[in-house]
A = this chain, B = another copy of it.
Amino acid sequence: MNDRYEIRLAGTGGQGLILAGIILAEAAAIYDGKNAVQTQSYGPEARGGASRAEVIISSEPIDYPEVTQADLLLALSQEACDKYYYNLKKDGLLIVDSDRVTRVPTNQAYQIPIASIAREATERTITSNVVSLGIIVGITGIVSRTAIEKAVAARAPKGTQEMNLKALAAGLEAAARFRRR
């Protein structure tokens, strides 16, 4: 069964997207027993403050480690949405932080106020990355809830485990509320 699934997380530096990518890959591989590859590519846009992380998850060994057309794009900035939407598969999922992305290129997107949910759950928007993981897992089921919880707890910076698990729960809960529109 080739169930390869490609996820692109895109936004700006400081949003913690690389850590989110690592957590998602480790949830899949270490806790759910799948294979995963996690990549950061840095070009001139990195100097301009853009950031992106990619994760490929598969039951099979992953021979080709590059994300070409993503199955899921998470965009935490307008620039990221504009830049990477055209590289999403035709039936791919677009999830945007509607607090930051106001021009959405399709009426099929999940538009979720991720920063607001992070602030409400943890009093800080810095947890938007982990809220996003909850949303992605809640919508796709790409990894199990147990696996993502273990991976968040293992990778959250010392002293922030509880806050990040709250952010994760808020994302999972938001996924259940929001529907494509």
Chain B residues with CB under 8 Å of A47's CB are 29-30, 33
A15: Cβ under 8 A from any B Cβ: no
Is B42 touching A30 in the complex (CB atoms < 8 A)?
A: yes
B28, B29, B38: the one within 8 Å of A39 (CB): B38
Is B37 touching A62 in the complex (CB atoms < 8 A)?
A: no
Measured CA separation A28–B36 after assembly (Å): 25
Report the copy number of this chain in the oligomer: 2
B33, B42, B62: the one within 8 Å of A29 (CB): B42
Is B40 touching A25 in the complex (CB atoms < 8 A)?
A: yes
A105: Cβ under 8 A from any B Cβ: no
Measured CA separation A62–B157 after assembly (Å): 31
Is A65 touching B62 in the complex (CB atoms < 8 A)?
A: no
A123: Cβ under 8 A from any B Cβ: no
Measured CA separation A165–B35 after assembly (Å): 34
Is A39 touching B39 in the complex (CB atoms < 8 A)?
A: yes
Measured CA separation A61–B46 after assembly (Å): 13
Chain B residues with CB under 8 Å of A28's CB are 42
Measured CA separation A40–B30 after assembly (Å): 13
A158: Cβ under 8 A from any B Cβ: yes
Measured CA separation A46–B22 after assembly (Å): 13
Name, among A22, A35, A36, A40, the residue most crowded by chain B CB atoms within 10 Å (CB to CB).
A40
A81: Cβ under 8 A from any B Cβ: no
Measured CA separation A46–B151 after assembly (Å): 13
User: Taking beta carbons and an 8 Å cutoff, which residues of A are in contact with B?
Assistant: 18, 22, 25-26, 28-30, 33, 35-43, 46-47, 61-62, 64-66, 157-158
Give me 7 A-to-B residue pairs in the complex whose CB atoms sit less than 8 angstroms apart, sorted by A's number.
A22-B40, A26-B46, A30-B46, A33-B47, A39-B40, A41-B65, A64-B66
